[in-house]
Amino acid sequence: MEVILVPDPAAAGAVAADAICALLDRKPDAVLGLATGGSPLAIYDELARRHRAGRVSFAAARGFTLDEYVGLPADHPESYRNVIDRDFVSRVDFPPGAVQGPDGLAVDVEAECAEYEAAIGRAGGVDLQILGIGTDGHIAFNEPGSSLASRTRIKSLTRQTRMDNARFFGGDVAAVPVHCLTQGLATILEARHVVLVATGAHKAEAVGQLIEGPISARWPATVLQLHPRATVLVDDDAATRLELGDYYRQTYRAKPDWQGI
Ligand code: PGA
């Protein structure tokens, strides 16, 4: 796991955008794993800026989102298909239909989850997966207790996650769906490169567990310790529980420029 400590969310966005642009340079038809929520916004802002400047194109790329609420109407502004469209897809040049997500309105949930896994497989797998982390240690919507070998499936959201996400639903926890479809932890581990962004003091405990805690379903993000190429971008506010912060800083400072992340 490569840990990069950055001063603020914009700096994290720039480092992640560099990695995505480098990937698209060498593989224009790359498959991106797209996260929703607050964490990736600085990445999407930076990529939209670089796209407007003619520095990156998504015209041959594809994308898969991580998860979706169950039961939100298709035109609900907080359905993750609409969120990813608003936050990123509509701001760059993905062709129509190039970005997919699990269907939270599917009648046959198990068939939908299996088909989503198959679609990722048919696309050749995810080249670079963007991730955030929940305050309870979830990645995608793999809540505490998730099997470390899980695949795409239906999950129940914790009260904590529903409270964290109530800000998107007018502050009303009851309006946040109880169920979701989410890629599993084993699904995410198959991405060839994982880039997780964690910013803000409310993420400090989860970040401490993710990077320096024992691998455990109690903190599902810790499964990333098993990934051969995981990059974790942490801002100062989220880094306060790390014991080895000086080591991470020194390592990144001494990293050869050509290496990238
Ligand atoms: P956030 O959510 O990026 O909105 O903080 C992260 C997550 O729940 O995975």
Model confidence band, residue 257 (pLDDT cutoffs 50, 70, 90): confident
Q: What is the number of structural domains in the chain? A: 1
Q: What Rg value do the Cα atoms of the chain yield, rounded? A: 17
What SS3 class is residue 128? strand
pLDDT tens digits along 5-29: 999 999 999 999 999 999 999 999 9
Model confidence band, residue 237 (pLDDT cutoffs 50, 70, 90): very high
Residue ranges of E strands in the chain: 2-6, 31-34, 62-65, 67-69, 99-100, 128-131, 153-156, 179-182, 193-198, 230-235
- Burial-class residue 85 by CB neighbours within 10 Å (0-12, 13-18, 19+): middle
In a domain, 84, yes or no: yes
Tell me, in angstroms, the distance from the centre of ligand 1 to residue 134's CA: 5
43 Cβ inside 6 Å of ligand 1: no
In a domain, 31, yes or no: yes
Task: Please tell me the pTM assigned to this model.
Answer: 0.97
In a domain, 161, yes or no: yes
Domain of residue 10, residue span: 2-226
The catalytically annotated residue of 67, 68, 117, 127 is 67
In a domain, 242, yes or no: no
Q: What is the mean pLDDT of residues 184-196?
A: 98
pLDDT tens digits along 131-168: 999 999 999 999 999 999 999 999 999 999 999 999 99
What pLDDT, on a 0 to 100 scale, did the predictor assign at position 258? 86
Single-letter residue type at 109: V
* 136 noted as active-site residue: yes
The secondary structure of 64-86 as a DSSP string is EESEEESS--TT-TTSHHHHHHH
pLDDT tens digits along 91-124: 999 999 999 999 999 999 999 999 999 999 999 9
What pLDDT, on a 0 to 100 scale, did the predictor assign at position 259? 86
Model confidence band, residue 210 (pLDDT cutoffs 50, 70, 90): very high
d(CA 140, CA 105): 18
Residue with CA nearest ligand 1 atom 8: 134
Q: What's the CATH code of the domain at 65? A: 3.40.50.1360
